[in-house]
Structure 1
């Protein structure tokens, strides 16, 4: 496999869309959270992401509304605006035996701590992890596009994550983001183990506007 260092926005716009293919469960009670965490705690690696209701008023901000955590085939959407950061969720975040993979995790955890204190363990930041594979683009959409030739839609990013009922489009968007982090990690781990990849030479690099770490806004 040839790994490109960068990918242009134009190229991404022409790629087919990627969607989480598994089952999605919305978690709205503490009991449901405990059952979800029981399953997730049995996994070796999980993908993680979060969503916050956007603010369009100066000076106004919101707490994290949704925490999505995915295995290869099941994604749980924890509605934190309804249940808060429960003891079972905190236990999972602090579990040293379950690897949590995400992008811009520092921002996610900073926002999550506004709901409750915790000390995360066994976390892998994709923006740093991809460096060893020569990937310079740091947004989730670009990393995924480079590796899978598919596009992660960002159409629901600014939707209301505190809505009484999440739409099917919101649920699929949230699940896809968490799962795609896991899928990226699994592929890179496989390539690392078998060595079956090459990094595109410098002269083939597609120019990018920025090589710096991108914030949660560009996830």
Structure 2
């Protein structure tokens, strides 16, 4: 199966001054794909805070580096906005990670693991859902990389963007929507 690539723009937000413009743009959207990344823990009892939130439209993916910018109020407002659909997969762990940074209630999230049931899709991993619908493979090679690194590598950026974008693409395909 051919490997999927994200052909859109990837915008890394690693300074607080960049948050406002990205959030203004995202708050004008009806829906976007969502995912998070956390530095893996390889020692018993070691836990890390969520390091990255990915929010993707069909053509742009914003990578908010929470380990560098914290959890800015503008980003928190989008995550809690009931007027914007956020499409993700296996959201329980993402929600738990975000709750370590904020107690505000996250609103209007759609978990593809539940959503795809009505379409007869039984395999619930992002890779399998995507392969069934689009005949392309999503690489998971960067999953356990260091999401708190000083700079994200191009491979990390691409992986992060694809995960959020693929969620939106699956949702739009299944609902017959675009944009």
TM-score (norm 2): 0.96
Partner of 1:108: 94
Task: Note if 1:188 corresponds to 2:174.
Answer: yes
Alignment of 1:1-219 (within 5 A): 15-190=1-176
Name which one, 1 or 2, has greater alpha-carbon Rg. 1
d(CA) in 2 for partners of 1:109, 1:30:
22
Deviates more, 1:115-124 or 1:128-137: 115-124
Matches of 1:32 and 1:119, distance apart in 2: 24
User: In structure 1, what is the Cα distance between the partners aligned to 2:156 and 2:47?
Assistant: 20
How many residues align structurally? 177
Partner Cα separation in structure 2 for residue 102 and residue 137 of structure 1: 15
**Using the alignment, how far apart are the partners of 1:38 and 1:109 within structure 2?**
23
Consecutive aligned runs of 4 or more in structure 1 exceeding 2 Å deviation: none
Structure 2 residues not aligned, in runs of 5+:
none
Deviation per CA, 1:90-129: give whole Å up to 9, x if none.
Answer: 1001111111000011210111111122211111110000
Q: TM-score, normalised on structure 1?
A: 0.79
| Alpha-carbon distance in structure 2 between the residues aligned to 1:17 and 1:118 | 37
Q: CA RMSD in A?
A: 1.0
Question: Which residues of structure 1 form unaligned runs of 5+?
Answer: 1-14, 192-219
